Amino acid sequence: MSKGVAVHWRLIPQRYNLIGTECKGCGQKFFPPRQLCPNCRRSGNITEITFSGEGKIYSYTLIHVPSEGLGFMKPYAIGIIRLDEGPLLTAQIVDCKPEDLAIGKRVNSVFRKVIVDGDSGIIRYGYKFKLTE
């Protein structure tokens, strides 16, 4: 494995582990991580946390005309997920039929292939979500 691949994996740990931050001043949780709480304006009271990966569909849309290279997946769902700990994040919802999706349904994170870089062949993985009910 080349040094560049290893560096890529280490530079974005939140992509692989749902790592965020929490302000100990007000309790607000953030994903992706922040260095400064927009509520408290304090930078010294932020700690790292790992989210459970469980939540509910807050909103979603079906993509019928995908970007180049993603045509094999159409249609596919992109959702805004509210994690049980509070933060909202955007992710693909997988392993379901469009008619199974609904706002409020429970989901949990899964680790899946996101993209393969063209000539380099590097496979990039990340979080996606699937229905749990």
pLDDT digits (tens, 9 = 90+) for 100-124: 999 999 999 998 777 666 666 677 7
Measure Cα distances from 96 to 42, 70, 93, 107 in Å: 42, 17, 8, 11
Q: Spelled out in words, what is the top-level CATH class assigned to the domain 52-133? A: mainly beta
Q: Is the pTM of this model over 0.85?
A: no
| 5/123 Cα distance (integer angstroms) | 9
| 42/54 Cα distance (integer angstroms) | 28
| Residue range(s) occupied by CATH 2.40.50.840 in the chain | 52-133
